[in-house]
Structure 1
Amino acid sequence: MEFKDKQAIYLQIADYICEQILLGKWPPGERIPSVRDLAAMIEVNPNTVMRTYEFLQGKEIIFNKRGIGYSADEKASEKILDYKKERFLATELPEFFKNIYLLGIDINELHTRYERFVEEMYPLTK
């Protein structure tokens, strides 16, 4: 796994786990890789994976069944979307707003480009 400098590694691992859950590779209620297995898969220290699992447990995205291991929560997809939306609105959107302000981009132009993007990239959803 390639890690970026801008974000803590445990959060990048959390994003990876969330992606696997959303893609259906790790379905709700079924076991996800153990701390050691995931650490070996992505080549990080098991303590980093443990920190990630504790973080995701705090968000109620995964849970630990004693003696069985970690599993995705039944409502993991909803909780992931809520978490990602909250993080986007709190961290990425302010940076985006700063850039459009500094570049003098009009909100109407932004709206037009957004509509065009949705039409081109997701034509069947409208």
Structure 2
Amino acid sequence: MQFRESQAIYLQIADYVCEKILLQEWKPEERVPSVRELAVQLEVNPNTVMRTFEFLQQQEIIYNQRGIGYFVSPGALKQAIAYRKLEFTEKDLPQLFRNMYLLGMTPEDLKPWYEKYKQQHFA
């Protein structure tokens, strides 16, 4: 995984976990990789993954079954959408809107690009 300097690594890992849930690769009540497994997979310190898991538990996206591991919460999809929407509207949209304004673009100008992207990546 390529990490960006503009955001804490544990939050980037949280985005990764949320994406797995949003794409339904990890389903409700399904066990997620252990702290060690995910740390090895993403090439990060296990303490960083532990911080991510603690954060995701606070967001009610995953939960811990003591001695067994971490699992996707029953309402994880809804919680992940809410979390990602908030992140998107607070962090990504302002820069997008600034660029659109500077380039004289409107939301209607973006529609064909959005449709093309959906076809290429989610068809």
Normalized against structure 1, the TM-score is what? 0.83
Gaps of 5+ in 1: none
The one-letter amino acid paired with 2:41 is: M
Q: Give the CA deviation at 1:122.
A: 4.5
Q: RCO greater where, 1 or 2, for CA within 8 Å and sep 6 or more?
A: 2
CA RMSD after TM alignment:
1.8
**C-alpha separation in 2, matches of 1:118 and 1:92:** 16
The one-letter amino acid paired with 2:71 is: S
**C-alpha separation in 2, matches of 1:121 and 1:12:** 22
The answer for the alignment partner of 2:39 in structure 1 is 39
Q: 1:115 aligns with which of 111, 114, 122?
A: 111
The one-letter amino acid paired with 2:7 is: Q
Gaps of 5+ in 2: none
The answer for the alignment partner of 2:91 in structure 1 is 91
Partner SS state of residue 63, structure 1: strand
The answer for the alignment partner of 2:10 in structure 1 is 10
Q: Give the CA deviation at 1:121.
A: 4.0
**Which structure has the greater CA radius of gyration?**
1
Q: Give the CA deviation at 1:113.
A: 1.1
Query: Structure 1 residues 68 and 45 mapped into 2: Cα distance closer, same or farther (>3 Å)?
Result: same
The one-letter amino acid paired with 1:58 is: Q
The answer for the alignment partner of 1:56 in structure 2 is 56
**C-alpha separation in 2, matches of 1:121 and 1:87:** 21
